[in-house]
Structure 1
């Protein structure tokens, strides 16, 4: 009977280790699936945003195109792919977005008014 106890202990440890290994393998598969899903969703969102930006930009709405295809694209790509939001990157994106929007909304100065080919005003 005493010879059976060490064998039972070894079997028990072996089954416990196999169960731990199987649980870890399952966790790794779920993590990989989540990571790949994030990559594909990030790609899809970026492509849709770029497509929408091109569409509205070609239809005469440059400010909206800037919002779709501007600095928000790298921000979302970083968020989905790297899975973290860097505060300095976010601040830089907000500054560049505001600069682009400010440039689009600024009225042209009188000295830089567009002219026709002959140098006169556009009719």
Structure 2
């Protein structure tokens, strides 16, 4: 019985490690993609959209994928950045 419990714990530990690593890889991929898109949009005269992609929204997404938790402060900061960036749009 003890051997079975030990094997189950090892399998669970491997599974948890794989899930954590997948979250880190996904967070890095999303962050890199958003930063590349922000630079591309900034170069192509779209600074407001670049600001949306490189502001607090990227930090909130990284926090969700890597730490697997999010708070109300993250969403409030993202909403404030969105409002500030889109406030200066020229119709």
Following superposition, the deviation at residue 82 of structure 1 comes to: 0.9
Q: 1: CA distance between counterparts of 2:67 and 2:14? A: 18
Equivalences, count: 91
TM-score normalised per structure 2: 0.89
Match of residue 43 from structure 2: 58
Following superposition, the deviation at residue 89 of structure 1 comes to: 1.9
1:2-54 residue CA offsets vs partner (Å, 9 max, x unmatched): xxxxxxxxxxxxxx111011001100011001101110110011011000010
**Structure with larger Rg:** 1
Match of residue 22 from structure 2: 37
The structure with more helix, counted as a fraction of residues: 2
| Cα pair 1:66 1:101 within 8 Å, conserved | no
Q: 2: CA distance between counterparts of 1:106 and 1:56? A: 16
Q: 2: CA distance between counterparts of 1:67 and 1:90? A: 13
| Cα pair 2:56 2:74 within 8 Å, conserved | no
Question: Does residue 60 of structure 2 align to residue 75 of structure 1?
Answer: yes
| Cα pair 1:71 1:97 within 8 Å, conserved | no
Q: 1: CA distance between counterparts of 2:74 and 2:57? A: 11
Unaligned runs of 5+ in 1: 1-15, 108-123
Unaligned runs of 5+ in 2: none
Following superposition, the deviation at residue 101 of structure 1 comes to: 2.1
**CA RMSD across the alignment:** 1.6
